[in-house]
Amino acid sequence: MRARFENQLTKLRDHVLRMGSKVQKQLDMALDSLTNLDADLAQQVIVFDQEINDSRFSIEERCVELIATQQPAASDLRFIVATLNIIVDLERMGDQSKGIAGEVKHLCKHGKKPKLDQIQKMGNLAKDMFEQCLLAYTQKNVELAQVIYNRDDEMDDLYDSVITQLIENMAETTKQKKIEVAYETLRIAEKLERFADLVTNFAERIVYIATGDIQETNV
């Protein structure tokens, strides 16, 4: 019975990793649509979001079933409870990528994309943080999860820089199109910063799975 239950837990982890891969793909697509100002690709990102939502509810059902039928205790219960939190954050990450794609579609109407280097840096950082987080989850690597906390500070610094620059840009122009592009760029930066916060939440749950301690960093 124990071997069968451990196999079910392994499958649950694998389902989370597959959902994570979908989130990773969606973020890549959203950032590519921004780089290339591709409205069609942006629309694909929006449609793809349903797959991530479906994954969340499927995994949630598996977690509830395991709790109801196996009555797990100690570290097993901790893993399942953490999984329920992780999949919510993964779905929300998908929502941020979907939101980026929505802003890209607006930018396509103007025919202009952001020229700020910080936006690209934020996108690359979000991708790197998430890749590290999936690796830390696979390995139950507490040290790597804690590295992600510090990288979130880097994201916050980039976000602050973007806000400052965009506010200055909007203050220096009376052209409606430039103001709208700056505003939509700001919305993209907000979503990337929020994506990184959600990755940090994921990292917190990895530490919880491994140690039983919650280290809340997004305060």
- Output the domain CATH number for residue 129: 1.20.58.220
From CA 74, how far away is CA 51, in angstroms rounded? 32
- The tokens describing 38, both together, are 């591709």
Contacts of 67 (CB under 8 A, 6+ apart): 77, 80
Residue 3's SS3 state is helix
pLDDT of 2 > 80? The answer is no
44: nearest Cα among 54, 32, 57, 60: 32
Among residues of the chain, what percentage have pLDDT more than 70?
97
218 assigned to some structural domain: no
33 assigned to some structural domain: yes
Please count the other Cβ atoms lying within 10 Å of the Cβ belonging to residue 45. Answer: 28
pLDDT of 142 > 80? The answer is yes
170 falls in which pLDDT band (50, 70, 90)?
Answer: confident
Do 182 and 172 touch, CB atoms closer than 8 A? no
136 assigned to some structural domain: yes
Work out how many domains the chain is built from and give that number. 1
216 assigned to some structural domain: no
CA 63 to chain centre: 21
Mean predicted confidence (pLDDT) in 108-136: 92
pLDDT for the residue 1? 67
- The tokens describing 179, both together, are 């103001």
219 assigned to some structural domain: no
70 falls in which pLDDT band (50, 70, 90)?
Answer: confident
pTM of the model: 0.93
pLDDT for the residue 219? 46
Do 56 and 19 touch, CB atoms closer than 8 A? yes
46: nearest Cα among 100, 126, 93: 100
Q: Which domain holds residue 167?
A: 2-211
From CA 157, how far away is CA 181, in angstroms rounded? 22
217 assigned to some structural domain: no
Amino acid 195 reads: F
